[in-house]
């Protein structure tokens, strides 16, 4: 969020927490992107604040409750207040348990992999309705096909991203084996606590191969996750990079320094494709960026339809 917007969001979170008899004298920013995450003190509650049109908060609350009940290593909602979405003005707020960090170091790869395996095992026991990762690909393609929504993106880079998404995503889905996933279990979404590693930010949960989750983790983590398909993991790393890059070119993206990251990730995408010998991806720069007559061919994938 921008500074002025973040200030108003902080005021809304403090007002809501105070109305729930939580003592708040200070708010510390833990993360600021499209959502603002605060630690409210001295009550020690984590407030996640989004703009009112964000519809993911209710989805995240419901899923968090199911995952906690299933014994998954995820952060829980604050037990002192009713588990729901709170609205005030232009903002919606959810309140979560604060976990003190057990160490300043990142989670070691073996522990990271073990936590991800526990999460995936618990997710396989649930019948929660979550979107397929291909829905995320379709959303990215729609953004790329609308220059008004991504006006700062050059024609060549737009063509490269379009071609990468259209080429790699169907190839990933041909491997099959879809299950519920976190969606973005990168190091910023894994807390090292005294209770062990806990995943946060569940709004990105989707269905797909486990390699799609591993693609967001440090590379060494996959060495400790059994039965990984290395070719599928390589493809998933490409698609994860292309998706993350696409979101940064959205004119409404609020991630600080997002455009700088977008440029760096585009270079990384080119390097990754070159090293892997993906000449067909690099040829996307020669394609027409306005050729958006079709999204990914839906006949090429088979989503898991939840009951």
- Give the number of other Cβ atoms within 10 Å of residue 93's Cβ: 22
What tens digit of pLDDT does each residue of 208-231 get?
Answer: 999 999 999 999 999 999 999 999
Whose tokens are 């952060």? That residue is: 75
Among 232, 115, 240, 127, CA closest to 173 = 232
Query: Would you place residue 291 in the very low, low, confident or very high pLDDT band (cuts 50, 70, 90)?
Result: low
Decide if 161 contacts 150 (C-beta within 8 A).
no
pTM over cut 0.85: yes
Decide if 9 contacts 87 (C-beta within 8 A).
no
Inform me whether the pLDDT recorded for 288 exceeds 60.
no
Among 128, 303, 102, 129, CA closest to 198 = 102
Dihedral pair phi/psi, residue 52, rounded to 5°:
-60, -25
Query: Would you place residue 289 in the very low, low, confident or very high pLDDT band (cuts 50, 70, 90)?
Result: low
Tell me the Cα Rg of the chain. 20
What tens digit of pLDDT does each residue of 62-113 get?
Answer: 999 999 999 999 999 999 999 999 999 999 999 999 999 887 678 999 999 9
Q: Under 8 Å CB-to-CB from 51, ≥6 apart: which residues?
A: 90, 91, 92
What tens digit of pLDDT does each residue of 151-171 get?
Answer: 999 999 999 999 999 999 989
């Amino acid at each position: 969020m921008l500074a002025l917007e973040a200030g108003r969001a902080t005021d809304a979170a403090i007002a809501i927490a105070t109305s729930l008899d939580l003592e708040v004298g200070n708010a510390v920013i833990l993360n600021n992107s499209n959502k603002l995450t605060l630690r409210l003190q001295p009550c020690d509650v984590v407030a996640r604040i989004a703009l009112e049109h964000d519809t993911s908060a209710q989805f995240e609350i419901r899923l968090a409750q199911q995952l906690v009940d299933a014994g998954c290593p995820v952060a829980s909602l604050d037990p002192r207040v009713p588990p729901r979405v709170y609205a005030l003005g232009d903002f919606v707020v959810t309140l979560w348990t604060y976990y003190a960090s057990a160490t300043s170091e990142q989670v070691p790869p073996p522990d990271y992999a073990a936590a991800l395996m526990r999460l995936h095992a618990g997710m396989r026991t649930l019948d929660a309705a979550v979107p397929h990762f291909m829905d995320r690909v379709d959303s990215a393609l729609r953004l790329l096909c609308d220059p008004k929504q991504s006006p700062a993106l050059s024609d060549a880079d737009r063509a490269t991203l379009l071609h990468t998404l259209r080429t790699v995503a169907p190839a990933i889905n041909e491997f099959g084996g879809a299950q519920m996933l976190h969606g973005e279990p990168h190091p910023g979404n894994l807390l090292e606590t005294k209770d062990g590693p806990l995943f946060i930010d569940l709004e990105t949960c989707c269905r797909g191969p486990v390699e799609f989750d591993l693609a967001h983790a440090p590379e060494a983590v996959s060495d400790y996750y059994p039965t990984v398909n290395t070719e599928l993991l390589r493809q998933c790393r490409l698609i994860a990079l292309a998706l993350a890059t696409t979101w940064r070119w959205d004119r409404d993206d609020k991630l600080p320094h997002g455009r700088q990251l977008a440029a760096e990730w585009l270079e990384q995408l080119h390097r990754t494709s070159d090293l892997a010998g993906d000449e067909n991806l690099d040829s996307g720069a020669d394609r027409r960026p306005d050729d958006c007559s079709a999204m990914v061919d839906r006949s090429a994938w088979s989503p898991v339809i939840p009951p």
